[in-house]
Amino acid sequence: MVNFADKLTNKIKETGNPTVMGLDPMLDYVPASIRRQASLEAADPAEAAGLALYWFNQQLIDAVVDLIPAVKPQFAYYEQYGVPGLAALQKTITYAQSKGLLVIADAKRNDIGSTAEAYSRAILDQTSLGESASQSFIGADCITLNGYLGIDGIKPFLDQCLKGGQGAYILVRTSNPSAGDLQDLVLNDGRTVYEAMAEKVAQWGQDLIGQSGYSSVGAVVGATWPRQAEKLRQIMPHNLILVPGYGAQGATADDAVASFGPDGQGAIVNASRSLMLAYKKQGLPADDFATATRLEAIAMRDDLRDALKRAGRAIE
């Protein structure tokens, strides 16, 4: 069984591109032509919304499938549309995997005991659940988690990763402006809260280090905090890092590469709106969104490659 860290590292090497495309669609992001077609085929407006989201995602995936290693659907964007939105989420994940992409379920789950076990089965378990169901709800390759409940909220997911080869990214230093209100607090021993969490992530991931030298248990570290990211990479030398904040949130490629290892591996940079809505930046018609997304994905890839070279961390 190949663990998630090795799968992702190999896909990044194949594509030469440490980028994950966030699939965070709002209905008003979807071109009117797609929404009109969905309304003609659906039984009601709710079903039409779900269809439109799925068709939008399909075209986004098709536009970049040969360029990127992974996609990251954010669950809240689908949940807000009810059952049809969840159906679009499930179909999007299945479609992306059918095209050979890894799927990071951006669910940020945070609970303990049997509830955490249920979340793990629903989102990660890719095997039969028994006579009552033929497959799990999602079957993603990886999940984002909030680890601030401690090991009680993480162990059920670690068990699934060990059993099924999936991965998990745990919030450590997030990209939002108010992150420091809690994560920067200083403990009695002089460590910050986020440094203490990073040490836990390094500990939790020890049993899931693959041949790549990286663990399938990783951390979320925002590109908006490059100085902190450098320190966190030292604390977590063997953990994957998911890097949000590039593009629409203001971080540059030079900021993002602080989370990479000296071998140019171990991190993947997320972009959502800057890829999905690239047609607006490029001044193209909405119906040309897929073409614009591909052009933006190539530009982001080249931007990251150049930044890695400047930092002496070119992908090997």
Return the closest-CA partner of residue 159 out of 110, 186, 121, 133: 121
Tokens at 121, concatenated: 């089965």
Exposed e or buried b per residue across 183-193, where buried means at least 16 C-beta atoms within 10 angstroms of its C-beta: beeeeeeeebb
Round to whole Å and give the CA distance between 259 and 283: 32
| Catalytic one of 13, 108, 231, 280 | 108
Tell me 124's DSSP state: T
Round to whole Å and give the CA distance between 7 and 219: 17
pLDDT (tens digit per residue) in 51-81: 999 999 999 999 999 999 999 999 999 999 9
Task: Reply yes or no on whether 7 is catalytic.
Answer: no
pTM above the 0.85 mark?
Answer: yes
| Residues lower than pLDDT 70 in the chain | 1, 127-137, 248, 315-316
Does residue 9 contact residue 265 with C-beta atoms inside 8 Å?
yes
Specify the pLDDT at position 245.
87
Where in the chain are the domains? 4-310
Give 180: exposed, middle or buried? Use CB within 10 Å, 0-12, 13-18, 19+.
middle
Specify the pLDDT at position 78.
97
Specify the pLDDT at position 132.
46
> For residue 168, what are the β-bridge partners?
143, 217
Round to whole Å and give the CA distance between 284 and 280: 6
In three-state secondary structure terms, 232 is: helix
- Looking at the domain covering 4-310, what would its CATH class be? alpha beta
Angle at 177 between CA 172 and CA 179, to 5 degrees: 30
Round to whole Å and give the CA distance between 33 and 283: 18
